[in-house]
Structure 1
């Protein structure tokens, strides 16, 4: 059975949420990597974040090949709001995330969902490769710890968004904070604060693409958003927020 051939009236197992902003060039490769995941009933929700290129036309063409693609549109509001729109629309038991220029390797979802079901894990993540977008060369392999708690995540964010999935039958719909940067880390904090230890599924099964030498073009703005999450979402005082922010920045530099 193709990953996208959903029998009538059968429940979706996984909702894949993909924000897309001017993603016409890379999106077909991302969608194909989701299609390679094996016999898993899923919906692939692509949220067009006010694209000005041919993203909408590309998605329409892809829907002819992959009928379980769902297309949503919002005026340009950022990846966090786009992901939240996808979370709101998601009907699957599990919600997973993949950006429009990143890839999953074959078997990623099968391994992850089997791990979550076998070990009764409600929030999981994995190892991933960071590759140069232009050359395809591996720049780094990210291997976070096997388990992460709320206290661990207060000190930084070793979880790659493209590897994460959570069980909405356990947590309900949990959304990302409305900040420009670090919103995925804000979601991981919320999930683990609700009592769920994040656990790593086995294998290196995802590819994050980056261009140039920097992962953030505006580091000062990112630090401000992270501090805002400590203060507004986690309701920490100025002293504790400053303490954790210092560790967060240090751990980001070592990542």
Structure 2
């Protein structure tokens, strides 16, 4: 029987989380699917566990590769996928049982929609709720109707997504033809390859979303795979690329540039370099005046003043 969805799950040393993630796939209701897990050179016993699971579940296909990274794993699985639609799930996340059916139905009814996504919940290591994704992004507020749980097309998707990455990879479903036409995940990027891919899809197709919280995203300590400098530098490269290729509004470009400047400021703030953080916060506020930038600027100036007064008092 033809599969409706190919589910792609990269795995690197996630043995502690794999059973929960895979069980959440197997519990999907009224959907014909295949699950492609690409083991990226794991050394924690993951591959051995997966090979045993493959014997047990006929929906599961295991592909192995040396440690080439998540981009290579996803791109390889996309080529192997046998379905019209592809859904992504990271090995340390998990879905709610009704996640796929509603998403498939919307994409079947909206052939010009190349990507859909849902809301999701951030949870801590005890699986306690932290905050849902959509509420984290104030820029997304005007697009939302919390009482509407149906899928809807996202107006002006490219301009929104360039300033607010509200798309969590593990709640995405894409049309295979569209993601291949967009070029898949860019292996030249050292970080933010998922955001880059969604933006390139937004250049060539419509984007849909739903208010439903359909998955939990586990906030693991030290789970970021690239350092902050790499991520922000990649964001800067992606922003410039998309602004060159797409019909990006001038205001959106200023907001995106201000967001990058504030990200650099946040990085230096966390490193304890308040003078540099202040410089970036000022540049961000000058590029696009926003109360968030002003708040950070005032807070940093206050902290720096206190530090300097304390230093003088100790002389």
3-state SS of the aligned residue for 2:55?
helix
CA 1:114/1:33 → structure 2, altered by over 3 Å: closer, same or farther? Answer: same
Provide the secondary structure at the position in 2 that maps to 1:130: strand
Q: Is the 8 A contact 1:63 1:69 kept in 2?
A: yes
Whether contact under 8 Å (1:103, 1:206) holds in the other structure is yes
CA contact (8 A) 1:38 1:107 kept: yes
CA deviation map 1:72-131 (0-9, x unaligned):
122112212211111121111001100001000011001211222234433100000010
Question: Which residue in the other structure is 1:115 paired with?
Answer: 106
Structure 1 length-normalised TM: 0.83
Q: Does 1:185 align with 2:195?
A: yes
Residue 42 of structure 1, CA deviation:
1.1
Per the alignment, residue 39 of structure 2 pairs with 48
Evaluate the alpha carbon distance shift between residue 251 and residue 205 of structure 1 in structure 2; reply closer, same or farther with a 3 A threshold: farther
1:200 aligned to 2:212? Answer: no
Structure with the greater alpha carbon radius of gyration: 2
Q: Please state which structure has a larger fraction of its residues in helix.
A: 2
Residue 22 (structure 2) pairs with residue 31 (structure 1): yes
* Counterpart contact for 2:9–2:36, Cα < 8 Å: yes
Under a length normalisation based on structure 2, what TM-score does the superposition of the two structures give?
Answer: 0.69
1:155 and 1:248 in contact (8 A); partners too: no
- State whether residues 231 and 241 of structure 1, in contact with CA within 8 Å, keep that contact through their aligned partners in structure 2: no
CA distance in 1 between partners of 2:61 and 2:231 (Å): 31
* Distance of aligned partners of 1:192 and 1:27 in 2 relative to their CA distance in 1, 3 Å threshold: same
More strand by share: 1
Tell me the residue number matched to 1:140: 131
Report the counterpart of residue 246 of structure 1 in structure 2: 258
Is the contact between residue 130 and residue 209 of structure 1 (CA under 8 Å) also seen in structure 2?
yes
Alignment RMSD: 2.8
Trace 1:1-255 onto structure 2 (pairs within 5 A): 10-120=1-111, 121-133=113-125, 135-143=126-134, 145=143, 147=154, 149-170=157-178, 172=180, 174-178=183-187, 179-194=189-204, 196-212=205-221, 218-231=227-240, 235=244, 244-247=256-259
Residue 7 of structure 1 corresponds to none
Gaps of 5+ in 2: 135-139, 145-153, 267-291, 293-315
Q: 1:127 to 1:11 in 2, by over 3 A?
A: same
**Deviations 1:167-198 (CA, angstroms, capped at 9, x unpaired):** 1245545411122321111110111111x221
Farther-moved stretch of structure 1 (243-252 vs 183-192): 243-252
Please state whether the residue corresponding to 1:122 is helix, strand or coil: strand
8 A Cα contact 1:226 1:245, kept in partner = no
* TM-superposed deviation, 1:247: 2.6
Deviates more, 1:61-70 or 1:211-220: 211-220
Which stretches in structure 1 are left out of the alignment for 5+ residues?
1-9
